[in-house]
């Protein structure tokens, strides 16, 4: 992958729709999702299709997805979801899926083997975002406690690692923490949605660091999805401003990466982006919620 010699990735300004379309429907060719997305080692895309209460697997290049979890209407049975908002692949447990079942206040593990039933691994948590660190510990953001908690492998009771000091905007507080990401140094990144800021939380810290830039034009509004690239640089779904930002650590400023001209339906535009991920070629994938599609922005190799 010679292109990774570059320190900063660049992407084409126009995206390609790889899942869904402009209208929300329940068919397997459509999505209606305010959720997260992820990609497996075979470049299959997984979508937390929140409004349709299911997880879709979408093979790149196909016109429709496959329901691999849920899809049985909203409910709290073991084969149902009620507004799933995030999904990730657990490489530490046979590439099973971990799913935040938001309105049922639980986190489930869903297996690909047909002879295995789903498992509830965390209960009574108003979860939103999920992340795994390099050791396989699971991190979950919690609306009720305005915190992020960590569960180590085989651990029953989680530990608060960020927030948990009531709802507020102090450096030790969060206000509806949404999506999260974590790097190899166990530094946690949190979209602190109601505070209109992204927080950087160093390992074992009692306070976070605000990543919001100096210039007003580059500040976030309702930040949602977060993802780290090959170099550890942070990308932010700035949902309220309909764009994707990248945090420039050197300049302490956000850079606009995708969509500089407001919201829209055209290929170079977004409308309330939520989940973010990279595929195996480091193309940037965006869950473009307002347009009910996932857009791929190809990496520029020249």
pLDDT value at 27 more than 70: yes
pLDDT value at 152 more than 70: yes
Strand pairing class (188-192; 177-182):
antiparallel
Q: Are 143 and 178 in contact (CB under 8 A)?
A: no
pLDDT value at 128 more than 70: yes
Across the chain, mean pLDDT equals 94
Instruction: Work out the percent of the chain whose per-residue pLDDT is above 90.
Output: 82
Provide the whole-model pTM: 0.95
Question: DSSP label at 11?
Answer: B
Strand pairing class (147-151; 138-142):
antiparallel
Residue 266, phi then psi, degrees to nearest 5: -75, 170
Question: What integer pLDDT is reported at residue 302 of this predicted model?
Answer: 64
Instruction: Work out the percent of the chain whose per-residue pLDDT is above 70.
Output: 97
pLDDT value at 2 more than 80: no
pLDDT-derived band at 148 (thresholds 50, 70, 90) equals: very high
Q: What average pLDDT does range 30-52 have in this prediction?
A: 96
pLDDT value at 106 more than 80: yes
Residue 158 CA: distances (Å) to CA of 23, 89, 92, 155: 39, 20, 18, 7
Question: What integer pLDDT is reported at residue 23 of this predicted model?
Answer: 73
Q: What average pLDDT does range 258-287 have in this prediction?
A: 93
pLDDT-derived band at 3 (thresholds 50, 70, 90) equals: very low
Q: What is the pLDDT of residues 171-184, one digit of tens each?
A: 999 999 999 999 99
Q: What is the pLDDT of residues 234-249, one digit of tens each?
A: 999 999 999 999 999 9
Taken in order of first residue, the domains within the chain and their CATH numbers are 12-297 (2.120.10.30)
DSSP per residue, 54-80? EEEEEETT-SS-EEEEE-S-B--STT-
Window from 5-9, 60-64, 115-119, 146-150 with minimum mean pLDDT: 5-9
């Amino acid at each position: 992958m010679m292109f990774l010699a570059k320190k900063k990735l660049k992407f084409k300004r126009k995206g390609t729709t790889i899942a869904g379309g402009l209208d929300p429907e329940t068919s397997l060719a459509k999505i209606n999702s305010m959720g997260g997305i992820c990609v497996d080692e075979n470049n299959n895309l997984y979508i937390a299709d929140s409004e349709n209460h299911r997880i879709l697997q979408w093979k790149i290049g196909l016109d429709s997805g496959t329901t691999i979890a849920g899809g049985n209407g909203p409910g709290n049975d073991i084969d149902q979801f009620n507004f799933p908002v995030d999904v990730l692949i657990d490489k530490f447990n046979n590439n099973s899926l971990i799913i935040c079942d938001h309105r049922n206040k639980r986190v489930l593990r869903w297996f690909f083997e047909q002879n295995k039933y789903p498992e509830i691994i965390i209960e009574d948590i108003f979860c939103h975002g999920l992340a795994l660190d390099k050791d396989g510990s699971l991190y979950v953001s919690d609306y009720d406690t305005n915190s992020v908690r960590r569960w180590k492998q085989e651990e029953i009771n989680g530990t608060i690692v960020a927030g948990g000091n009531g709802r507020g905007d102090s450096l030790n507080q969060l206000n509806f923490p949404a999506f999260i990401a974590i790097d190899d140094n166990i530094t946690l990144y949190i979209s602190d949605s109601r505070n209109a800021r992204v927080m950087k939380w160093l390992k074992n810290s009692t306070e976070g660091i605000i990543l919001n830039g100096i210039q007003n034009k580059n500040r976030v509004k309702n930040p949602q999805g977060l993802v780290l690239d090959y170099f550890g640089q942070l990308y932010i779904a700035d949902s309220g401003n309909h764009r994707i930002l990248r945090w420039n650590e050197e300049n302490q400023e956000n850079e606009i990466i995708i969509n500089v001209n407001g919201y829209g339906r055209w290929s170079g535009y977004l409308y309330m982006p939520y989940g973010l991920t990279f595929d195996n070629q480091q193309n940037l994938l965006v869950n473009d919620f307002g347009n009910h599609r996932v857009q791929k922005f190809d990496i520029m190799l020249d």
